[in-house]
Structure 1
Amino acid sequence: MGLKVELKPGERLILGECLVTNGDQRTRLLIEGQAPILREKEIMTPDLADTPAKRIYLAVQIIYTSRDPRPHHETYFTLTRELAEAVPSAWPFIEEIGNHIITGAMYKALKSAKALIAYEKELLDHASRSTDLRRGREADRKPA
């Protein structure tokens, strides 16, 4: 049994190395065989990859959709090494992504990369809240 995909009007998906754009009506596809498939909501574009975790997701996506992923491995390794050095607590996510890549479970690697993006956002939100709290304390100390 194949994968059933229902596309909204104008929705896009990546099928192998091809970008497929739906027309102006809902469409239901049955896809049989082995090919990387990404729905529009799962696609990361270079202009959206504006954080280290998003760039890792993009690298994994490129590896997943490429006929020959080997030329992209060095980029992936460089990005993960830099993130691990800067944020050691991200290592479990990086390790999970790498394990999925090694075993050929590329879609699971993308899901793990999504979890890394969520973790990164949590860290950035926490840092932002802490900065706001510090600013608030400084404002409280200043005489009126």
Structure 2
Amino acid sequence: MALKVELKPHERIIVGNSVITNTDQRARLLIDGENVPILRERDILTPETADSPAKLVYLAVQLMYISPDPQTQHGTYFNLVRDIVTAVPSSWPIIEGINNNIMSGDLYRALKEARKLIAYEDKLRDQYKATHPNGDVSSAA
């Protein structure tokens, strides 16, 4: 089944191992292929923007998703999730969902689950800020 993508002016998208940058006008693409990783710019994290534990997990899953050999990222990923579950045991159900998708080879779904981990981390951070208005948030999640 083909994927229809509409790109804003100058928006980028990753298709396979290529970055495609749109020109100065909106564009519609029809992408047809099997098991080709596709990421829109808004879904891409870089090492510079992965500034929290959950975002680092997302980045590791993203690298698995776009890599021809996803297993090269497994060590990094599992070290990161071990640290998160140790610090925040309540994150386990989300981590388990990510793990199940990674192990079954559905890395796109694992990426979607990793987004939930970022949202959960944000929620915990917001709760911490609400109860500790003058506290340091860097250790909250």
CA distance in 2, matches of 1:2, 1:133: 51
CA distance in 2, matches of 1:109, 1:85: 20
C-alpha deviation, 1:79, in angstroms: 0.4
| Code of the aligned partner of 2:29 | L
Question: How do 1:126-141 and structure 2 match up within 5 A?
Answer: 126-132=127-133
CA distance in 1, matches of 2:87, 2:18: 35
Unpaired stretches in structure 2, ≥5 consecutive residues: 136-141
Partner of 1:4: 4
Q: Percent identity?
A: 55
C-alpha deviation, 1:133, in angstroms: 8.1
Moved over 2 A (4+): none
Partner of 1:137: none
Question: How do 1:6-85 and structure 2 match up within 5 A?
Answer: 6-34=6-34, 35-85=36-86
| Code of the aligned partner of 2:22 | N
Which secondary structure state, in structure 2, belongs to the residue aligned with residue 19 of structure 1? strand
- The structure with the greater share of residues assigned to helix is 1
C-alpha deviation, 1:60, in angstroms: 0.2
Partner of 1:115: 116
CA distance in 2, matches of 1:102, 1:108: 11
CA distance in 1, matches of 2:70, 2:134: 45
**1:12-56 Cα deviation digits (max 9, x unpaired):** 011111111111111111101120000111111111100000000
C-alpha deviation, 1:108, in angstroms: 0.9
Which secondary structure state, in structure 1, belongs to the residue aligned with residue 13 of structure 2? strand
* TM-score, length-scaled by structure 2: 0.91
| Code of the aligned partner of 2:60 | A
- When the two chains are superposed, the root-mean-square deviation of aligned CA atoms in Å is 1.2
Q: Which has the larger radius of gyration?
A: 1
Is 1:124 matched with 2:129? no
Unpaired stretches in structure 1, ≥5 consecutive residues: 135-144
Partner of 2:105: 104
